[in-house]
């Protein structure tokens, strides 16, 4: 994240006449000129925590610079799945959406040899969740027809206790629709979550599994332990996991660690996924001043600086282990939910 980009975005959001209502309020409370005094990402801690409840409950336009309010019809709306509570919302311009989702995808496709020109099936959330739009854009970016899709209402299934009749019935409803597509179309590329992928693998016959040459997983982390079984079940497939969400986009593995784990490295000047020390409880103050050293687990703090939307110091529901990169930067591996931020009964299948 370059200092000139930081200065440019802060100047836009903290413009006294045409800036962002939420951030101008924060500046008044902080008592200093943010655009003038924040020069690099190490300065972000001066702004304090961005409370997730603000993103859940305030009008969306409070987070969009006034200069873009006449262009709302050109923006793309995105909502989170609501795993940790009520959903959060943000917007992307078409260019920001491309940088957040499509360009990282194409970079990963090239690096990992993910197949092009396939016939896709996407099993995941539609509606307000931008992952559906990203699935369509990703498929088209590699020369494919947009995916066959099965909608998954992730907010509903999170309300069902794991193992309950409601959970089983809804899972059966989703999987039967997916198998209808697989049985009648020549599907060779899958995009879904690890739990749904596992269930599909159990239902598909050998020929259907052999046909799959590309699998992209998202929505939930793909663990090191689950990959061998999936690779055995889909022996011809390039399995490419992504780590992302509706607020910042997606990142992909840059390399594989010594333990066979995927190491995710955002390659986007607008994005910084900081690994900060783990708080002891949900009430403990989150340390924003330090990075965890390589090999230790930390909480992911989200910073995304776009012209239409600014996120700084937003604590994520996820944790990760820091991995040192060859260029001195930091990668993320073994991504897992923060226990007190993600109730186990709301994990669902996404």
Span 82-96, pLDDT tens digits: 777 889 999 999 999
What pLDDT does residue 350 have?
54
Could you read off the pLDDT of 70-82 as tens digits, one per residue? 999 999 999 988 7
Q: Which of 23, 80, 32, 31 is nearest to 56 (CA)?
A: 80
345: pLDDT confidence band, cut at 50, 70 and 90? low
The mean pLDDT of 300-307, rounded to a whole number, is 98
- Stronger pLDDT, 155 or 164, i.e. the higher one: 164
Q: Which one, of 190, 124, 131, lies nearest residue 154 by Cα? A: 124
pLDDT band at 18 (very low <50, low <70, confident <90, very high): very high
Lookup result for tokens 């009520």: 86
Residue ranges of domains in the chain: 96-257
Highest mean pLDDT among 188-192, 256-260, 336-340: 188-192
Beta-bridged to residue 89, according to DSSP, are 79
Angle value at C-alpha 267, between 215 and 312, nearest 5 degrees: 110
Task: Say what the pLDDT of residue 255 is.
Answer: 82
What letter would DSSP give residue 279? P
Is residue 158 predicted with pLDDT exceeding 90? no
Average pLDDT over residues 5-9: 97
Show the DSSP H helices in the chain as ranges.
3-13, 21-30, 34-37, 52-57, 94-97, 103-112, 130-141, 154-157, 165-184, 194-203, 206-211, 227-233
Residue 254 confidence (pLDDT):
87
Q: Average pLDDT, stretch 274-290?
A: 89
Exposed, middle or buried by CB within 10 Å (0-12, 13-18, 19+), for 292? buried
Check if the beta carbon of residue 148 is closer than 8 Å to that of residue 185. yes
Average pLDDT over residues 8-15: 98
- The pLDDT, as a whole number, for residue 21 is 98
- Return phi, psi of residue 180, to 5°: -60, -45
pLDDT value, residue 347: 55
pLDDT range class, residue 252, cuts 50, 70, 90: very high
pTM of structure: 0.93
68: DSSP letter: G
The pLDDT value recorded for residue 316 is 94
Res 22 pLDDT > 80: yes
pLDDT tier for residue 284 given thresholds of 50, 70 and 90 = confident
Looking at residue 189, its pLDDT comes to 98
Token pair, residue 55, equals: 């993103």
Percent of the chain residues topping a pLDDT of 90: 77
Cα–Cα separations (whole angstroms), residue 147 to 140, 189, 216: 9, 9, 12
* Cα Rg, the chain, nearest whole Å: 20
pLDDT at 212: 98
**CATH fold for the domain made of 96-257:** Rossmann fold (3.40.50)
Evaluate if residue 285 carries a pLDDT over 70: yes
Residues ≥6 apart with Cβ < 8 Å to 26: 34, 47
pLDDT score of 157: 82
- What's the pLDDT score for residue 343? 58
Asked if 108 contacts 249 with a C-beta cutoff of 8 angstroms, the reply is: no
The answer, yes or no, to whether residue 59 has pLDDT greater than 80, is: yes
pLDDT of res. 260: 80
Pairing of strands 214-217, 238-241: parallel
CA 85, 91, 92, 97 torsion-angle sign: positive
When pLDDT is averaged across residues 132-143 and rounded to a whole number, the result is: 97
The SS3 of residue 314 is strand
pLDDT number for residue 348: 59
- Rounded mean pLDDT of the chain? 92
Which pLDDT belongs to residue 10? Answer: 98
Q: What is the mean pLDDT of residues 87-108?
A: 96
Report which of residues 64 and 324 the model is more confident about. Answer: 64
Give me the phi and psi of 340, to 5 degrees please. Answer: -80, -10
Q: Does the pLDDT of residue 307 top 90, yes or no?
A: yes
CA angle centred on 216, ends 226 and 204, rounded to 5°: 70
pLDDT given at position 324: 86
């Amino acid at each position: 994240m370059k200092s000139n980009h930081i200065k440019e975005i802060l100047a836009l959001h903290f413009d006294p006449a045409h800036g962002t209502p939420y951030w101008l309020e924060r500046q008044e409370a902080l008592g200093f000129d943010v655009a003038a005094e924040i020069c690099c990402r190490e300065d972000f801690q001066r702004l304090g925590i961005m409370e997730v409840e603000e993103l859940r409950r305030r009008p969306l336009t409070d987070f969009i610079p006034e200069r873009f309010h006449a262009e709302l019809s050109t923006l793309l709306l995105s909502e989170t799945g609501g795993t940790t509570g009520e959903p959060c919302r943000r917007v992307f311009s078409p260019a920001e959406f491309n940088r957040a989702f499509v360009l990282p995808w194409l970079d990963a496709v090239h690096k990992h040899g993910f197949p092009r020109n396939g016939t896709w099936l996407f099993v995941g959330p539609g509606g307000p969740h931008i992952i559906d739009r990203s699935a369509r854009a990703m498929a088209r970016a590699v020369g494919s027809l947009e995916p066959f899709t099965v909608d998954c209402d992730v907010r509903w299934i999170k309300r069902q206790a794991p193992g309950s009749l409601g959970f089983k019935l809804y899972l059966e409803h989703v999987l039967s629709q997916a198998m209808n597509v697989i049985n009648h179309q020549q599907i060779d590329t899958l995009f879904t979550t690890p739990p749904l992928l596992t269930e599909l693998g159990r239902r598909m016959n050998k020929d259907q599994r052999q046909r799959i040459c590309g699998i992209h997983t998202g929505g939930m982390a793909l663990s090191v332990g689950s990959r061998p079984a999936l690779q055995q079940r889909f022996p011809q497939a390039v399995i490419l996991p992504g780590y992302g969400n509706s607020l910042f986009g997606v990142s992909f593995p840059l390399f594989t660690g010594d333990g066979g784990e995927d190491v995710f490295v955002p390659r986007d000047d607008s994005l910084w996924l900081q690994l900060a020390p783990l708080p002891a409880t949900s009430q403990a103050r989150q340390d924003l001043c330090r990075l965890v050293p390589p090999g230790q687990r930390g909480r992911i703090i989200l910073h995304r600086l776009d012209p239409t939307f600014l996120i700084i110091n937003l604590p994520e529901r996820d944790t990760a282990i820091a991995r040192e990169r060859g260029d001195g930067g930091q990668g993320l591996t073994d991504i897992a939910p923060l226990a007190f931020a993600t109730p186990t009964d709301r994990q669902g299948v996404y």
